[in-house]
Amino acid sequence: GQNIDQPTEMTATEGAIVQINCTYQTSGFNGLFWYQQHAGEAPTFLSYNVLDGLEEKGRFSSFLSRSKGYSYLLLKELQMKDSASYLCAVRAFNDYKLSFGAGTTVTVRA
């Protein structure tokens, strides 16, 4: 199975930058996903990394290092609406499911 670790909580100020780290152990790697989930709502897709490097999408960027089993999600120019839980998920090779971490709750303060 997969072992996925991410911090439980992070707090940052509006306009600042926050980096959410995710480490994973998996027998055969086939992609890492980041989802945003507001309380009581569906997880929404943010990014997908399968090769090493940085993927940038507006204010959000995601980085992957397969050799280190490490990813981070970078949130820039934080807005109040970015307060949410951020889920890191890994898919193993020859597997159809996503294995999720417990999520990181980000609180943005004025």
Partner 1 sequence: DAGVTQSPTHLIKTRGQHVTLRCSPISGHKSVSWYQQVLGQGPQFIFQYYEKEERGRGNFPDRFSARQFPNYSSELNVNALLLGDSALYLCASSLEAGLYNYGYTFGSGTRLTVV
**Contact footprint for partner 1 (CB under 8 A):** 4, 30-31, 33, 35, 40-45, 48, 87, 89, 93-103
Q: Closer to partner 1 by CB, 67 or 96: give it.
A: 96
Q: Closer to partner 1 by CB, 16 or 50: give it.
A: 50
Q: Tokens for 14? A: 């509006």
Asked if residue 43 lies in contact with residue 108, where contact means CB atoms within 8 angstroms, the answer is no
Q: Closer to partner 1 by CB, 15 or 28: give it.
A: 28
Task: Give the shortest CB-53-to-partner 1 separation in angstroms.
Answer: 16
Other beta carbons within 10 angstroms of residue 27's beta carbon come to 10
Give which of 105, 104, 107, 106 is closest to 4, Cα–Cα: 104
